[in-house]
Chain A
Amino acid sequence: MSDTSLSTLAAQLAAKQVSSRELAQTYLDRIAALNPSINAFITVDPEKTLLEAAAADALIAAGQAGPLTGVPIAHKDIFCTDGWLTTCGSKMLHNFVAPYDAHVIQRFKAAGMPSLGKTNMDEFAMGSSNETSHFGPVKNPWNPAYVPGGSSGGAAACVAARMAPAATGTDTGGSIRQPAALCGITGLKPTYGLVSRYGMIAFASSLDQAGPMAPSAEDCALLLNVMTGFDPNDSTSLERDKEDYTRDLGKPLTGLRVGLPREFFAEGLNNEVAAAVDAAVEELKNLGATTVEISLANSKLAIPVYYVLAPAEASSNLSRFDGVRYGYRAPDYASLDDMYCKTRAQGFGAEVKRRILIGAYVLSHGYYDAYYLQAQKIRRLIADDFNEAFKACDVILGPTAPGTAFKLGEKSDDPVEMYLNDLYTIPANLAGLPGMSLPCGFDTRGLPIGLQLVGNYFSEAKMLNVAHQYQRTTDWHARAPEGLK
């Protein structure tokens, strides 16, 4: 495939050079060819996809097409999708066919964008390597011996392998940005509250946010236009005027103040990643930006704070998976308590159980103040650091992850080592700030390197333009793994 940017595909559809059905079929064929080795999709249903594509074609023919009508997209299997299996990567929901559409799904349907299928993910979005999925790990398209990152690993891998022109993801502690970095694509986690969480299976409610994943920043801006907007069904959804996230694309970066947090360039950062990020900083300077060193002193506490708060919320959010109403139920049990215990013991994987246990522990009587309350206080301090930093800069820049993709199985036995992968991404979730990752090079093994931008609240349009200007002078984002059929 040549140029698969969303604007190009949309233009071809509008000019009737290709139909949505043809486009969908092209991608379905590629999925059929590549998915057995990459495992990016849990569910593919060509019949449903082609029906949606036909409906999009009808809209185009009737002159009722929107900007992206007919362009297919893949959805993370965390979004409830009416009539589709929606598993959240778990045995617990291995048989759950959602009876309703998540708000995000509704918006993409309303935009006339056919669904290519449901992408693989870490179980209940808990993981940084996509190895905790009940449906098997996803392979990194750049090298199948390596992980794609997680939890939106299927989404990142399918976009990187050009099995889909774009995908939805969700990000609780880096689940859009880290896999985007490891797979060499662009992904954005919006300001908390910008995209409705209704119908998105909850991991940690105060941190979860859905966002777009695609090769370029321009693609992400177009997708964000579709995804955002107030939803009365989500009490944390923000009531704001509709924005056009493409509006700043094309503005020069002259005078842009880029903040470089000293804590993000310290010990633990891989040299090749550091070098690639430094080079990107030079590139931005060439484009007119200036840099300023800043400090996010409390960000070193982000991981411990996150691993108190996220499991606390998760332990409660996942209580509904009890085998009573839907999903997995243990086949044999002697009593109600036995049914609960066996269902949850068999239905959840090890990482999910670990986090439920941590969460239940930190919320329990006598520990709540020392863990949960304390973590909430530090969370505010972390947000305060950002607040202070944005007085001196317009956007914060650093590496997305401390390293590039690691080998399958390399970290799966060491949860703490795995958790450290989200060192740089978690602070933005804790503060509710927008963050994005974009490709900025490759390491010597040929694996992509990701650059992270963190912006102030509601500065998505500005961040997207910073990334866009960078992508106009570089081609890291345009590279696709060779050797895939």
Chain B
Amino acid sequence: MKWETVIGLEVHTQLATKSKIFSGSSTAFGAAPNTQANAVDIALPGVLPVLNKGAVECAIKFGLAIGATLNRVNVFDRKNYFYPDLPKGYQISQLAKPIVEGGALTIVVPSTSSGQSEERVIHLTRAHMEEDAGKSLHEDFHGMTGIDLNRAGTPLLEIVSEPEMRSSAEAVAYARALHTLVTWIGICDGNMQEGSFRVDANVSVRPVGQTEFGTRREIKNLNSFRFLQQAIDYEVRWQIETLEDGGRIEQATVLFDPDTGETRMMRSKEDAHDYRYFPDPDLLPVRLTDEWIEQVRAEMPELPQVKLAKYRMDGLSVYDATALTSSRATAEYFEAVLASLSPSPSPGGSGEQAKLAANWVMGELAAALNKAELDIAQSPVSAAQLGTLITRIQDGTLSGKLAKQVFEGLWEGAGEVDAIIEARGLKQMSDSGELEKIIDDVLAANPKSVEEFRAGKDKAFNALVGQVMKASRGKANPAQVNELLKGKLQ
């Protein structure tokens, strides 16, 4: 039997507000346990929540970015359950009326069969505001559990997709696109290690052609894209095997163990809580006015999908445009490179320059950053420097090969582009008299190659070009070498 995988994701993004969603304490990560938990966060008797409007604005930004409906009247609900790191015994969340409903995200899935990237639109169900819980610390305490409430009350936006993904690759592509978007619009720092972006995957399988969904299992708390992929792949295999062996899938919540690469049962549906949701009487409904929404919209940067479309208009491929819009910092760097080109690219006629700039940003620069484990924002080579470098390629001062040497100089902090060219003697040879002399010397020194070429061996020509380039220490213009050499050999 052929099986189809169905995946929907729930992503908890910590909102990048300075203070918590219902109290004034700091949300900074990494402080000593319980030093960022005030009376409200530890739920002393008598304390009350006060909504941080900044968290609402983050949610508005997200809703605008995905073209969703923003609910104008927002009610907070209490989700009741007992856990030591949930100090009030309830979580303030939104059940009936989430702030964001609908919307969609375009994802680019690398296709394995054709080798081509494929665009898909994934629809979102909803996104709602809620508060994070604290943390239970099971290590360090013999026979006891420590409770750290620093995280308690950190604002979250829980983003729920429709079950529209059909492979782990699509799920990862969606998660990446979402990660790009939330960091792009500045509502989340995207730090997955610190738990700022946590993914739950609802996974089910069904025979191809069946319309109703299979029974789903939810994989909780995946904190890397790799784990997301591995967990879904394992879970899908496990579900198919179970069904093919005549078993049944029971609705359950499971955990992924990165050490074994397997998922294991956390709780079954029977253990599911009755959360006894009801509207929180301590908080008044929050109304979103047109004025407020427009004010928030005005603060938003140009969105990745808009930039992607522009880059494609500039003649870049889907692949290039997607890579350049993988983060706001990358896109901003790329645009700064373009802006510093001389002459600056003219609209419509910028294709070649854009392509060249894209190649440098995603090629040499990306490789160097990757090797040094640096973010593009920390690049030792500035966008203006890279722009000058590209300008020097275009005006014939540098060959591609020499440009790479100049780039190395820039990376090492050896100075500006022109100074490095000067100091290291990397200027491309443009004096044809000097080049002709080198060619004559090479021809004289390699009579065998000359003979072979004349005997019809094209390979010998390439060998001679190589000798000339070597003799010029790479500074000769390869096109010019070709031309002159051909003339002399005929």
Contact = CB atoms under 8 A, between A and B. Distances in A.
Interface centre among B39, B43, B46, B274 (most CB of A within 10 A): B46
Q: Which 5 A-B pairs have the closest CB atoms?
A: A319-B89, A363-B276, A206-B281, A205-B281, A199-B46
A200 interface: yes
B52 to A, nearest CB: 11
7 contacts: A80-B46, A234-B50, A235-B49, A320-B87, A322-B84, A325-B87, A365-B276
Interface string B253-283: 0000000000000000000001011100111
A422 interface: no
B53 to A, nearest CB: 12
Contacts of A365: 274, 276
Interface centre among A197, A201, A235, A336 (most CB of B within 10 A): A235
Contacts of B283: 235
A312 interface: yes
Interface string B35-70: 000010011111111110000000000000000000
A188 interface: no
A202 B46 contact: yes
Interface centre among A201, A202, A324 (most CB of B within 10 A): A324
- Give chain B's interface secondary structure class: loop
B78 interface: yes
Interface residues of A, number: 44
A135 interface: no
Interface stretch (A97-105, A126-134, A149-157): A97-105
Given A235-B51, A320-B43, A326-B44, 7 more contacts: A199-B47, A234-B48, A236-B284, A316-B80, A316-B89, A360-B276, A363-B80
A63 to B, nearest CB: 34
A363 B87 CA distance: 20
B46 A320 contact: no
Contacts of A235: 48-51, 282-284
A232 B284 contact: no
B284 A200 contact: no
A390 interface: no
A442 interface: no
Contacts of B329: none
Interface in A257-311: none
- Give chain A's interface secondary structure class: loop
B45 A320 contact: yes
Nearest to B88: A320
A411 B282 CA distance: 33
Interface in B1-50: 39, 42-50
Contacts of A230: none
Contacts of A204: 281
Nearest to A341: B82
A86 interface: yes
Contacts of A322: 82, 84, 89
Contacts of B277: 363, 368
B80 A198 contact: no
Interface residues of B, number: 28
Contacts of A363: 80, 276-278
A226 B31 CA distance: 40
Contacts of A315: 80, 276
A122 to B, nearest CB: 16
Contact of A312 (B43, B47, B278): B278
Nearest to A206: B281
A96 interface: yes
Interface in A61-101: 79-80, 86, 88, 93, 96, 98-100
Contacts of B84: 322, 324, 336
A321 B88 CA distance: 8
Interface string B69-107: 000000000101010100111100000000000000000
Contacts of B82: 319, 322, 340
A98 B276 contact: no
A325 B42 contact: yes
A382 to B, nearest CB: 17
A368 B45 contact: no
B42 A100 contact: no
Contacts of A372: 278
A37 interface: no
Given A319-B80, A363-B276, A98 B88 contact: no
B374 to A, nearest CB: 43
A235 B46 CA distance: 13
B368 interface: no
Contacts of A202: 45-46, 282
A232 B80 CA distance: 26
A429 to B, nearest CB: 13
A86 B276 contact: no
Interface string B285-300: 0000000000000000
